[in-house]
Amino acid sequence: MDKPIFWLPAASTQGVVVDRLFFALLALSGAVLLLVLVLLVTFAVRYRHGSKAKRGALPRLARREFEIGWTAATFFLFLFVFWWAGSANLSEFQPPSDAMEIHVTAKQWMFKTQHPNGAREINALHMPVDTPIRLAMTSEDVIHSFWVPAFRFKRDILPGRLTQGWFRANRTGTFHLFCAEYCGTDHSLMGGAIVVMEKDAYARWLAEQPEGDDLGKQGEALFVQLGCAGCHAGRSAVHAPDLAGLYGREIPLSDGTKVLADERYIRDSILQPRREIAAGFEPIMPSFAGTVSESDLAKLVAYIRSLASPSLAPQRSAAP
Ligand code: CUA
């Protein structure tokens, strides 16, 4: 870990953007403060009691133009700041389509992470540098928050909901991971290390990990074990939607609306099957809320995703 220093250098592309914004706002606020102070002192001296300075009303025209001028200038300046901060923050919510996916499950009081090939870690995340990493996060109990100060990245993790976030580390090293939401007795101890490695070093590290089945494989086993296959298989007597090629498609619902079959939709369909019913089907599926844990849900979703045929996969954007 880095020694305590006055300014923690940014270690992600988003961190650089955040820092630039921070310093610009600091400079802007400093300039405004300086202007006000200078005017304050100047006027205090110039119009002090007994000075010979001119004291009378300003000419009417100059007063109005001056008023309009400074109001418009500050308005546009702050509109610009709003646009800048807004666009910088919104990009944090749109992971590149080629991002590597890491599953994060938070619980009192640890972060469990899982790599695409099934390798797991606790309170640690090894990752390659210069690679977009997408986090798919859920909590098994209360609200936690995934905070990596060096990445300027902080995102709450909520029970019963999938939270996403992404970052791209721009230098190697070991960085602090903290939980940033008070979550009980050992909240202050909940955290770990983010280890950013060169790409080949990461590949070597990953190869050394006990692999375990990848999420999709584990999900497939669960799918059979929980009886999902009984209804959702092609030849089943029960009329249930076929899940092959489902992921990434627009699904017409029985209420006439459409919904994108993304991770959120699949999760909710498992937990609250009666909320968004696919058009043409009876609401007969039982809820699995309380039956499947958060980590099992992630596996099921991964399995259903893996059933999407390539031609139906979501459109990839050209730019990373
Ligand atoms: Cu988890 Cu605080």
What pLDDT digit, counting tens, does each position of 123-160 carry?
Answer: 999 999 999 999 989 888 899 999 999 999 999 999 88
Q: Are residues 199 and 231 in the same domain?
A: no
Q: Are residues 95 and 221 in the same domain?
A: no
Structure token pair of residue 136: 């798919």
Give the end of a domain, one of 156, 180, 212.
212
DSSP for 114-145, written as a single string: E-TTS-EEESEEEEETTSEEEEEEEESSS-EE
Give the separation between CA 233 and CA 243, rounded to whole angstroms. 8
- CA 245 remoteness from chain centre: 26
Q: Please, how many CA atoms are within 13 Å of residue 320, restricted to the half-sphere of its CB?
A: 11
Regarding whether 219 and 196 lie in a shared domain, the answer is no
Residues 191, 88 share a domain: yes
* Residue 2: other Cβ atoms inside 10 A: 12
Same domain? For 204 and 279 the reply is: no
Q: How many C-beta neighbours within 10 Å does residue 168 have?
A: 20
Whether 63 is in a domain gets the answer no
Residue 315, in any domain of the structure: no
171 and 299 both lie in a single domain: no
Closest CA to 146 of 124, 179, 173, 120: 179
Question: Per the domain annotation, does 54 fall within a domain?
Answer: no
Six token digits for residue 290: 């309380």
pLDDT for residue 179:
93
Assess whether 142 and 92 both reside in one domain.
yes
User: In Å, what is the CA distance from 107 to each residue of 149, 158, 212?
Assistant: 20, 10, 21
Geometric angle at alpha carbon 197, from 205 and 13, rounded to 5°: 145
Going from the Cα of 76 to the center of ligand 1, the distance in angstroms, rounded, reads: 40
pLDDT-flagged residues of the chain (< 50): 310-320
Distance 121 CA to ligand 1 centre (A): 17
Would you state the structure tokens that stand for residue 293, as one six-digit string?
């844990």
How many domains in the chain? 2
**Cβ count within 10 A of residue 300:** 23
Q: What is the CA(184)–ligand 1 centre distance, in A?
A: 7
Give 183 Cα–ligand 1 centroid separation in angstroms: 4
Domain end (from 212, 227, 255): 212
Specify the pLDDT at position 118.
Answer: 78
Residues 203 and 98 in one domain: yes
Tell me, what's the pLDDT at 34? Answer: 97
Q: What is the CATH number of the domain that holds 224?
A: 1.10.760.10
d(CA 278, CA 288): 17
Q: Report how far ligand 1's centroid is from the alpha carbon of 218 (Å).
A: 28
Q: Is 56 contained in some domain?
A: no
* Residue 197 falls inside a structural domain: yes
Distance (Å, whole) CA 23 – CA 29: 10
2 domain residue, yes or no: no
Provide the pLDDT for residue 33: 96
Q: Which atom of ligand 1 is nearest to the CA of 184?
A: 2
**Residues within a 6 A CB radius of ligand 1:** 109, 144, 179, 181-183, 187, 190
Please tell me what DSSP assigns to residue 281. Answer: -
Q: Which atom of ligand 1 is nearest to the CA of 109?
A: 1
Residue 142 Cα: closest atom of ligand 1 = 1
| CB neighbourhood size of 180 (10 A) | 18
Please give the pLDDT value at position 309.
Answer: 57
Boundaries of domain holding 206: 9-40+68-212
CATH number of the domain residue 85 falls in: 2.60.40.420
Note whether 131 and 221 are same-domain residues.
no
Instruction: Please tell me whether residues 98 and 203 are part of one structural domain.
Output: yes
Q: How far is the CA of 155 from the centre of ligand 1 (A)?
A: 12
Q: Ligand 1 center to residue 125 CA distance, Å?
A: 17
The residues that bridge with 88 in the sheet, in sequence order, are none
Is residue 146 a part of any domain in this protein? yes
Q: Which atom of ligand 1 is nearest to the CA of 187?
A: 2
Kindly state the tokens that stand for 315: 């459109």
Nearest-atom number in ligand 1 for the CA of 143 is: 1
- Please check whether residues 122 and 243 belong to one and the same domain: no
Nearest CA to ligand 1 atom 1: 144
Atom of ligand 1 nearest to the CA of 181: 2
**Cα(88) to centroid(ligand 1), Å:** 27
Interhelix angle for 294-306 vs 215-225, to 10°? 100
Q: Please indicate, yes or no, whether residues 154 and 240 belong to a single structural domain of this protein.
A: no
Residue 36 lies in a domain: yes
